[in-house]
């Protein structure tokens, strides 16, 4: 952090690095991209993870299915990114399937930047890390007393009402934990966007990396890392404040 307030070769404190960062087009892009990935990824992952957890909660042979679902977690992120390139490349499987179905005549550039790349990265991230969120939410679901749900059913509540008035409120601490853990991870996403889209879709981590590694500027790298840290911290505080620190809710 101290480095971020100093210029290269000068120990005097200054805000010039931050001024430079926020006026630099690449940093602005990285910031927007990072926030976009985080918001979308968390939303989609939460919905998907909760859906899978709800299905698994009532399923038999749970352990075997859980083990299978957890497999993507064990795959290194860079391997996932390399494989996803085979899907999303202009000559990749997606374009080939779409072409054979006559849905496209010209390959779609999934990884050239923009909204398509955003969704490609979010989908790739979802594939790998949704199981972790699912695991946390499943643990939460298993803690919900069955009697509550049964009582609600006897009183004539629908599945949606059960979910909305019983399950979700009781799941609050687990949803909070899942979102915070995944949120921290998603904010600092690095390998996936770099390997998939390179500088066509910069994020804060890759921006800091290039500042340090390629442009030999540890001070601006430190400044962008500090910005990232502040964002993560602020997001966690805001979330906890809005949701009431994730304490269990009485139903």
Partner 1 sequence: MNRIIFLLISLIFLTSCSAPKESTLKVSMSLSDEEWRVVKEEIIPKFEHRNHCRIETLQIEAGDLPQILKSQSMAGKMEIDVFAQDNMQLSILVEEDLVENLSGYRGMIPKETEQSLISAGEFNRKLYFLPFRPNVQIVYYNEDAFKKYALNVPRNWDELIRVAAVFKQREGVGRILFKAWGNGPTVTQLYEFIVSAGGDPFTFNDPGCLRTFDFLKKLWPYVSPDSTKAKWNTSNDYIARESVYLMQNWPFGINVIIEDYKKTNIKTYHGFAGPKGEAHVIGGDVLGIPKGSKNKALALKFIEYLQSREAQKILLEKLSWPSIRTDVYSTVSGWRAPYFRAVKEAMRYGVFRKNVTYWADFERYMNEAFTRIVIKGEPLKQVLDHYAEEMKKVANKKK
Binder among 69, 80, 111, 122 for partner 1 (CB under 8 A): 111
Binder among 3, 35, 107, 246 for partner 1 (CB under 8 A): 107
Q: Which stretch binds partner 1 (CB under 8 A): 103-111, 155-163, 226-234, 235-243?
A: 103-111
Distance CA 231, CA 66 (A): 33
Task: Note whether 137 binds partner 1 by CB under 8 A.
Answer: no
- Min. distance of Cβ 111 from partner 1 in angstroms? 6
State the binding string over 186-225 for partner 1 (x if CB under 8 A, else -): -----------xxxx---------x--xxxxx--------
Give the nearer residue to partner 1 in terms of CB position, either 8 or 153: 8
State the binding string over 140-179 for partner 1 (x if CB under 8 A, else -): ----------------------------------------
Three-state secondary structure string covering the chain: CCHHHECCCCCCECCHHHHHHHHCHHHHHHHHHHHHHHHHHHHHHHHHHHHHHHHHHCCCCHHHHHHHHCHHHHCCHHHHHHHHHHHHCCCCHHHHHHHHCCCCCCCCCCCCCCHHHHHHHHHHHHHHHHHHHHHHHHHHHHHCCHHHHHHHHHCCCCHHHHHHHHHHHHHHHHHHHHHHHHHHHHHCCCHHHHHHHHHHCCCHHHHHHHHHHCCCCHHHHHHHHHHHHHHHHHHHHHHHHHHCCCCCCCC
Cβ contact 146:226 at 8 Å: no
Interactions with partner 1, residue window 19-58 (CB under 8 A): 25-26
Q: Which of 223, 164, 162, 201 is nearest to 34 (CA)?
A: 201
- Min. distance of Cβ 116 from partner 1 in angstroms? 11
Distance CA 186, CA 35 (A): 9
- Min. distance of Cβ 96 from partner 1 in angstroms? 11
Applying CB under 8 A, the site for partner 1 has a residue count of 22
Give the nearer residue to partner 1 in terms of CB position, either 29 or 185: 29
Q: Which stretch binds partner 1 (CB under 8 A): 44-52, 68-76, 83-91, 233-241?
A: 83-91
Which burial class, exposed, middle or buried, applies to 180 when counting CB atoms under 10 A from its CB (0-12, 13-18, 19+)?
middle
- Min. distance of Cβ 132 from partner 1 in angstroms? 28
Q: Which stretch binds partner 1 (CB under 8 A): 85-93, 143-151, 227-235, 241-249?
A: 85-93
Task: Note whether 106 binds partner 1 by CB under 8 A.
Answer: yes
Give the nearer residue to partner 1 in terms of CB position, either 25 or 160: 25
Residue numbers at the binding site for partner 1 (CB under 8 A): 25-26, 89-91, 105-107, 109, 111-113, 197-200, 210, 213-217
């Amino acid at each position: 952090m101290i480095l971020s307030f100093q210029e290269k070769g000068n120990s005097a404190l200054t805000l010039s690095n931050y001024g430079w960062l926020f006026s630099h087009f690449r940093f602005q892009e990285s910031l927007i991209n990072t926030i976009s990935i985080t918001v979308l990824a968390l939303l989609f992952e939460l919905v998907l993870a909760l859906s899978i957890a709800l299905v698994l909660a009532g399923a038999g042979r749970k352990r075997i299915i859980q083990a299978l679902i957890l497999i993507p977690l064990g795959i290194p992120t860079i391997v996932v990114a390399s494989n996803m390139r085979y899907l999303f490349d202009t000559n990749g499987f997606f374009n080939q399937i779409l072409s054979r179905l006559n849905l496209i005549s010209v390959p779609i550039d999934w990884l050239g930047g923009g909204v398509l790349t955003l969704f490609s990265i979010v989908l790739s991230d979802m594939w790998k890390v949704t199981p972790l969120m699912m695991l946390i939410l499943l643990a939460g679901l298993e803690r919900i007393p069955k009697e509550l749900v049964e009582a609600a059913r006897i009183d004539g509540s629908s599945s949606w009402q059960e979910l909305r008035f019983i399950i979700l409120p009781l799941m609050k601490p687990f949803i909070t934990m899942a979102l915070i853990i995944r949120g921290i991870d998603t904010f600092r996403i690095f390998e996936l966007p770099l390997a998939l889209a390179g500088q066509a879709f910069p994020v804060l981590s890759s921006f800091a990396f290039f500042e340090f590694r390629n442009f030999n500027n540890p001070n601006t790298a430190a400044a962008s890392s500090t910005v990232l840290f502040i964002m993560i911290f602020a997001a966690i505080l805001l979330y906890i404040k809005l949701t009431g620190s994730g304490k269990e809710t009485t139903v």
